[in-house]
Amino acid sequence: MSDTLGTPDTPNHTPNDVPSDVPDEADAATPRAWAAALGGPVAEADISFLAAGEYHENWLIRAPAGPVVLRSNRGGAAGSQLGLADQISYEYRALRALAACGATPRPLALAPLPDLPDLPDLSDRQARGADAPVAASSPGGALLMQWLPGRALDYRTDASHAARVFAAVHAAPVPPAVELPPPGQVPHALPRGMLAAQPDPVGAIVAESSALLDRHVGHPLAPRMIHARHALLGYRDRVARLAGDTRHLFADEAPVIANTEVNSGNFLVPEGDGAASSGNFAAPCGAWLVDWEKAVVTTRYQDLGHFLSPTTTLWKADHVFDAASRAAFLDAYRAALRAAGHPAPDAEECAVKTDILVRAVLLRGLSWCLMAWHEYAGGGRALAHADTFRTIERYLGNIAWFLR
């Protein structure tokens, strides 16, 4: 592990940066925090399934204190893209660091262990609902967070909202962070309050992608994807050279908290005027960014590059940014920083560094697809989604287009 990140221009996170009603990790993992967040007993009829990703399940709880989201983690190596021993506490930590920015849900309570206080058994089919995934449990613990209303982001109409969200997130105070190696056999254990850092963003993506590409080399189905693997290995080498050639561009840059997984489904846009209030929920940025499992302290261009990458925009939508719309998005981001009184990179710097990360993010996204394809095709994935598998196969079948 490297030394903790910190620069004079990016002070470490202090308790005064967090709203007083957001408990720290220790206080959040107490019956008192759960009781305050729920406001009373919860019955099976009060819980409904919202959605499941590759690593988490989300449940809506209509609690006496108001609606909240229960986010449960699969646990073990299957529950953390960062290879963390305690993924759910890490996500709570990231959400707490961002609680004052106005663009993320507030965390309310934490259960690092599989035991969920005073809640019905989520493996009960009646509580789960017909659309819930087959394997509902929380071996990796769970957290409660604020429920926020809205629909998925539309790239054609809502890109300016995303720009304001990024500006708000990237202006948040940066907590202590430490560099981690790619996930391995032994999970990483981080001290309480610490986030993961990627001071060399392109190099970190190359290392992570290499680990993904190597994960199923000996899989019995590997020969079916040999063309995709060879294409990605060649592209990996190109991005590795890019990392060496451009490392100096990011060396002295002030780090930010970056989400690093900013697909359209991770944004919530309130219906109607996104910049106004939606019921009792104010959306000052016009949208919220809600999935923070892979947050790291790194360059802002990880988020900007991921948002613009075609592997992101084609995942849940049918959109590719052209040169004009890409430039308009980056201009909106820079304008949002300036409007909030924060320094903004100039247009050329922003465009050049974003393009570097777009190319790196392509590598990471397609490497993940190849890794996940083996697990889907081989039946070894606990949370499997048919639409995700179809998208993975489409991406790998068109890999030459992505890498053109």
- What DSSP line would sit under 42-88, residue for residue? --GGGEEEEEE-SSEEEEEEEETTEEEEEEEE--GGGG-TT-BS-HH
Q: What percent of the chain has pLDDT over 90?
A: 75
Q: What one-character DSSP code corresponds to residue 21? A: T
Which token pair is 67?
A: 């609606």
- Provide the 10 A C-beta neighbour count for residue 193: 15
Establish how many alpha carbons lie within 13 A of residue 72's alpha carbon, considering only the half-sphere containing its beta carbon: 28
Q: Give the whole-angstrom CA distance, residue 104 versus residue 96.
A: 9
Q: How confident is the model at residue 185 (pLDDT cuts 50, 70, 90)?
A: confident
- pLDDT score at 272: 64
Backbone angles phi, psi at 96, to 5 degrees: -65, -40
pLDDT digits (tens, 9 = 90+) for 334-389: 999 999 999 999 999 999 999 999 999 999 999 999 999 999 998 766 667 789 99
Q: Which of 127-131, 164-168, 265-269, 372-376 has the lowest mean pLDDT?
A: 127-131
pLDDT digits (tens, 9 = 90+) for 298-320: 999 999 999 999 999 999 999 99
Calculate mean pLDDT across residues 190-201.
95
**Contact (Cβ atoms closer than 8 angstroms) between residue 102 and residue 336:** no
Query: Comparing 327 with 132, which gets the higher pLDDT?
Result: 327
- pLDDT score at 237: 98
- pLDDT score at 133: 42
pLDDT digits (tens, 9 = 90+) for 35-51: 999 999 999 999 999 98
Mean pLDDT of all residues belonging to the chain:
88
- Calculate the CA 245 to chain-centre distance: 27
Q: pTM (2 decimals)?
A: 0.90
Q: How confident is the model at residue 53 (pLDDT cuts 50, 70, 90)?
A: confident
